Amino acid sequence: MTKQQGKDIVSKYHTYLRLEKSLSANSIQAYMTDLDKLLRFIQSENIKVTEVTYHDLQQFVAQLRDVGIHPRSQARIISGIKSFYRFLLLDDYITTDPTELLESPKIGLKLPEILTVNEIDNIMSTIDLSLPEGQRNRAMLEVLYSCGLRVSELITLRYSDVYFQEEFIRVEGKGSKQRLVPISETALQEIRNYLYDRNTMQVKKGFEDTLFLSRRGTGLSRIMVFHIIKQQVEMAGIHKNVSPHTFRHSFATHLLEGGANLRAIQMMLGHEKITTTEIYTHIDREFLREEILAHHPRSRSRE
């Protein structure tokens, strides 16, 4: 099957949704957007749309789960994929349905919250920059969201691991594994602004290279970061259960919704490989940086 034939099938599916299923324009757009996530995945795997297997779909769903996509969003995407392959079966493009055994995540437990871009902007705007810790908090939350860090990675981030010229930070994750993560110019500028205050502080021995410091010149605790976020969320009038991990989930969700590559998101989050040992082989630093610049709201909003 050629690339053009694949496009023709997708076009026919669009017509099928409009004429035979009589869906609204908004519903059709939602189906096509979710299908595009699968098409990007199978293209990266060099798989033809009509030759996708149940195993391929399992790998795709595992990647959705791994980057922290909300279970309800996972269920919606899977539902759309099932609809697409039912169409392929009806129109004799395939003889067996690879989605037949594909299960959606169980929904019913309280689910993690995701912040919208506007809500994140509102949280940032509530930070009082006239306070001694104001610029530190702003830089800290910007890095948390722009880089999708774990709270443990944020509080141990070193000044020497911020590469301003290259627009990367070096992060030490679980098991002391290091990774390079692209950082937006917005976040870098907030760090630069914070350094004016940091450079006037009395830093305690052992914390000279720690980027985000308490007013006592020592590193911040996880609890302190939770408290700062809770305070700013309340000031922004947001009625959601928000934690540092919420920023990480929002980072991954916004990137995926913007069309970023699933593998690139996995690598930026510092997750383990899921299925094959070669899963990250073709991801290089420049590609990761381009994925952030192209798909992260913080980067696109500054264009």
Give the pLDDT band (50/70/90) at residue 1: low
Residue 245 designated active-site: yes
Dig out the tokens for 65 from the structure.
């789960």
Q: Which of 37, 138, 150, 263 is catalytic?
A: 150
Residue 82 designated active-site: no
Residue 150 designated active-site: yes
Higher-confidence residue of 24 and 173: namely 24
Q: Which of 174, 216, 222, 230 is catalytic?
A: 174
Give me the mean pLDDT over the 32-39 stretch: 90
Integer Cα distance of 201 and 152 in angstroms: 23
Which run of H or E residues covers position 66?
A: helix 54-66
Residue 205 in this model has a pLDDT that exceeds 70: yes
Residue 232 in this model has a pLDDT that exceeds 70: yes
Residue 280 designated active-site: yes
pLDDT of residue 159: 94
Residue 55 designated active-site: no
Domains in the chain with CATH codes: 3-90 (1.10.150), 117-300 (1.10.443.10)
Q: Which of 23-32, 142-151, 169-178 has the lowest mean pLDDT?
A: 169-178
93-100: long-range pairs with CB below 8 Å, 24+? 93/9, 93/50, 94/50, 98/52, 98/53, 98/54, 98/56, 98/57, 99/54, 99/57, 100/54
Q: Which of 14, 18, 204, 245 is catalytic?
A: 245
Residue 188 in this model has a pLDDT that exceeds 90: yes
What are the start-end ranges of the E strands in 14-167? 162-163
Q: Which of 249, 254, 271, 298 is catalytic?
A: 271
pLDDT of residue 108: 53
pLDDT over 70 percentage in the chain = 87
Q: Which of 54, 93, 159, 280 is catalytic?
A: 280
Residues 6+ positions from 271 with CB-CB distance below 8 Å = 66, 67
Residue 216 designated active-site: no
Q: Which of 138, 248, 249, 295 is catalytic?
A: 248
- Mean pLDDT for the chain overall: 84
Give the pLDDT band (50/70/90) at residue 281: very low
Give me the mean pLDDT over the 115-131 stretch: 93
